[in-house]
Structure 1
């Protein structure tokens, strides 16, 4: 134990090793994990301190598959362009694409989760809180995090499937219910139906299995990294970087600045 005047000693519970073994927490990597535990199992235990239940594993796996790919999005384009510029550094392309996992693309489950937490915290007044949130965003002409999609209309099929999976797995809880309340409020404020998008559903599903909002984007990072590796693999087979460059270069107009 540190004396009152001493600085805390840095420590980790994630990994240690000696000349005979590598340990993940208390688990022997070779003796306990290799060939016995899945990647999702080990990730969840390393991050949250315990192995997932069968239902939790099913939810996490579904979330990771959902967030892996969505076509030529900004993250995929960035990855392909950087890889085309630096083909000796696969990791540079993936890193560039991951920088786009943020508040507008892929990573929007965090602000959505914060809203769901507010609704859950309101208890019996949850419906009224959901309506207040929706009305406030409408008044500011801002999209409610977790709602709306430029392509998937009237509904995002990914969100429908994820919420149904939560029901089947027995994890549909307070945050999934809060999402449905918020959806009703959003529709009422807009005067029309606005879809729950995939990240809105992800926020509810992860919240109901105990994942804190501030770590949810980590699931998007983990999943999208795999998807970006797939984009690099395709870029190696069928290069598109030069095409993207030429397309933007030919479409962009030049106008002299006004004095």
Structure 2
């Protein structure tokens, strides 16, 4: 008789070890990976679990570089303030910054990718793209992957990413085509050119590599962690956390509440 508990036992394909060896999937860490493979290649091997092509590593590298640093954004400010408060806890400061990788900043490629998935699944890509643009316009919402408050009229990072993707003959280009269909629809519905932003282009490129939509934000987390460590290094040499705190405290005044009726 089969043991039902054994059938339901969780398994892992990521790592195993013996007294004398350690394997990442089927690769021996010491013999096959150390000194032979780069970080990006091993990371993709672990996340995607499939044989890699050189194009996978090239495109992922440029995506990680693009997402690593955006200046004094909420994630970097959070990291600097937490490090100021608890300098013994470097990892906590980085973790605080990573909590800001969400649907409004840094991690927006996930939202954009869902729209590209809709377009790719539709029988008429252009009609679906127009429907998406009109839906967002009617709700007075920006389309994920489009527009930028600093980079105008275009986000130069996005168009460089698209150019690099188009230059890779191994990529089919379906996600990039979906992005361009959506861009044309957004421009038409808004009645003016609206730039594709970096995370919009990242969504298309990661889609070209076969990265599932639900995993894409993880690439922003990996990349931004490195950038936040750099912010901590700068904070150690030239602290700004106290200045940020003092600036906010003086910029936001205390206002007495007016007494309500009967008070």
Quick check: TM above 0.5? yes
What is the match of residue 173 of structure 1?
Answer: 173
Displacement of 1:206 = 0.4
Question: How many equivalent residue pairs?
Answer: 258
What is the match of residue 156 of structure 1?
Answer: 155
> What is the distance in 2 between the residues matched to 1:122 and 1:176?
15
Asked if residue 252 in structure 1 is aligned to residue 252 in structure 2, the reply is yes
- TM-superposition CA deviations, 1:66-110 (whole Å, max 9, x none): 000010000000000000000001001100000000000000001
Change (3 A) 1:152 1:172: farther
What is the match of residue 182 of structure 1?
Answer: 182
Say if 1:75 and 1:100, in contact at 8 Å, map to a contact too: yes
What is the match of residue 12 of structure 2?
Answer: 12
Q: TM-score, normalised by structure 1?
A: 0.97
Displacement of 1:51 = 3.9
- TM-superposition CA deviations, 1:34-57 (whole Å, max 9, x none): 000111111111111124211111
What is the match of residue 114 of structure 1?
Answer: 114
> What is the distance in 1 between the residues matched to 2:109 and 2:23?
32
Say if 1:27 and 1:33, in contact at 8 Å, map to a contact too: yes
Displacement of 1:257 = 2.3
Displacement of 1:169 = 1.9
What is the match of residue 78 of structure 2?
Answer: 78
Aligned to 1:16, the other structure's residue is in SS state strand
Change (3 A) 1:29 1:2: farther
> What is the distance in 2 between the residues matched to 1:52 and 1:69?
26
Say if 1:2 and 1:8, in contact at 8 Å, map to a contact too: no
Q: TM-score, normalised by structure 2?
A: 0.95
What is the match of residue 24 of structure 2?
Answer: 24
What is the match of residue 217 of structure 1?
Answer: 217
Change (3 A) 1:57 1:5: closer
What is the match of residue 141 of structure 2?
Answer: 142
> What is the distance in 2 between the residues matched to 1:159 and 1:34?
34
Aligned to 1:169, the other structure's residue is in SS state coil
User: RMSD over aligned Cα, in angstroms?
Assistant: 1.4
Aligned to 2:167, the other structure's residue is in SS state helix
Give 5+ residue unaligned stretches, structure 2: none
Displacement of 1:3 = 3.8
Asked if residue 126 in structure 1 is aligned to residue 128 in structure 2, the reply is no
What is the match of residue 59 of structure 2?
Answer: 59
> What is the distance in 2 between the residues matched to 1:160 and 1:96?
31
Deviates more, 1:22-31 or 1:46-55: 46-55
- TM-superposition CA deviations, 1:100-138 (whole Å, max 9, x none): 000000000011001001101113x10010001001100
Give 5+ residue unaligned stretches, structure 1: none
